[in-house]
Structure 1
Amino acid sequence: DTRETLARLGTALRRWHPERLVLLGDSFHDPGGAARLPAAEAALLHRLLEGLEVVWVLGNHDPVPPEGLPGRAVEEWRDGPLAFRHQARPGAMQGAEISGHFHPKATMPTRCGGITRPCFVADAKRVMLPAFGAYTGGLDAADPAIAGLFPRGARLFLLGRDRLFSMPARKPAPIRAIPTI
């Protein structure tokens, strides 16, 4: 999945021309992932990051700075009132937050049942990003681990081929005990 993910990154960088790239953790599968990149992929990643201010927010899969790659590694990065962190923090907060970690996905109802897609989950103070990696799994946005961070509800923005699909987040179904005999 490394080549496909790097191709996505290259496409995004060419389209948006950012000055800064903030990566929200889990950029690699484990702490040694950057050092194990094949030479061609490592060279491509270096070319993609050239000239950018790169901020690596450390994640649970990559809790140490990526070896041999440009940029600085931080636990959390702030830009004014906006906090960029790997995992969302529950409860009230000052400012606003952008996080990753849970890799949210949701199912959009269709005439044929439903289509499950990675999604953004957002309210007025928090945005949770979908996974960027090509083959990264995801957690249903209705799961209490995600929904619990949005007690007043949220909007989901599902990734389409060339656009986003917006819908309200659904509340998780209550857990019902199954009677035993």
Structure 2
Amino acid sequence: MGDAPACSVACLDTRIGIRPIRYRTTLRGTKQMWYLFPGFLKGNDIIPRSNSVESSMQKSPYVFDVDVDGFEERVLQASEGQPILVDFWAEWCSPCLALTPALERTVGAYGGQILLAKVEVDDNMKLAGHYRLRGFPTVILFHKHEELGRFSGARASHWIEEWIDQHWR
């Protein structure tokens, strides 16, 4: 067992004692799975799993990352033409990571009528303060430079669609 190679595919994980210990979302929105390899590395070294399913997924064309410098142009000015959902999230926030797939599914279902901007709050605290965010995740819907509504916490896709229809249409 000590000579077993480090496995980067899920098929052998349980057989050779590898277990996932955490998911990490990068600034580009892709997820990386980190694994603990007990027994055949010195100590309990943490190794990124580079070819995981999560990191190989393509990002939706309706989802983009934005920071404090680009917020005015990419969100507020762009909201003149179409509604933009802004997801204020953090890497360490489990509900934030749970909400991301539901938001991406919902935005994809609208086929480009609504865009999703993702703001990582640890790097953009000025924006979080400006919009007086009290918890994460917080999602705000902007259209024509105005905030139409907001919600906090993880929600299902169908709930988000109903919420959008209620506040936008």
TM-score, normalized by length of structure 1? Answer: 0.27
Structure with more strand by fraction: 1
Q: Which has the higher contact order (CA 8 A, sep 6+)?
A: 2
Larger Rg: 2
